[in-house]
Amino acid sequence: MKKHIAVIRGDGIGPEIVGEALKVLDRICALYDHEFTYTDVDMGGCAIDKWGDPLPQAELSKCLDSDSVLLGAVGGPKWNDVPGPMRPEKGLLRLRAGMGVYSNNRPAKIWPQLAGASPLKQSIVDKGIDFIIVRELIGGIYFGAHNTIEEDGETVAIDELRYSEQEIERIGRIGFETARKRGKKICSVEKSNVLDSSRLWKSVMHRLAEEYPDVELSDMLVDNCAMQIVKNPSQFDVVVTENMFGDILSDEASMITGSIGMIPSSSLGADSCGLYEPIHGSAPDIAGMDLANPIGTILSAAMMLRYSFDMAVEADCIENAVSAVLDQGYRTADILSSDTGCIKVGCREMGRLIIENMKRE
Choice among 247, 276, 307, 330 that is catalytic: 247
**Got the DSSP string for 273-340?**
--EEEESS---GGGTTTT----HHHHHHHHHHHHHTS--HHHHHHHHHHHHHHHHTTEE-GGG--TTT
Q: How far apart are CA 134 and CA 167, in angstroms?
A: 13
Based on the residue annotation, tell me whether 130 is a catalytic residue of this protein.
no
Burial (0-12, 13-18, 19+ Cβ within 10 Å), 97: middle
Annotated catalytic residue 67: no
Query: Does 247 participate in catalysis according to the annotation?
Result: yes
Annotated catalytic residue: which of 26, 219, 251, 290? 251
Q: Which of 191, 202, 290, 316 is catalytic?
A: 191
102 included as an active-site residue? no
214 included as an active-site residue: no
How many Cβ atoms from other residues are within 10 Å of residue 82's Cβ? 15
Radius of gyration of the chain (CA): 20
Measure CA 181 to chain center: 20
- Of the candidates 102, 142, 212, 330, the residue annotated as catalytic is 142
Q: How far apart are CA 207 and CA 101, in angstroms?
A: 24
CA 168 to centroid of chain Cα atoms = 20
Which one of the listed residues 40, 223, 310, 327 is annotated catalytic?
A: 223
Which residues are designated catalytic? Answer: 142, 191, 223, 247, 251
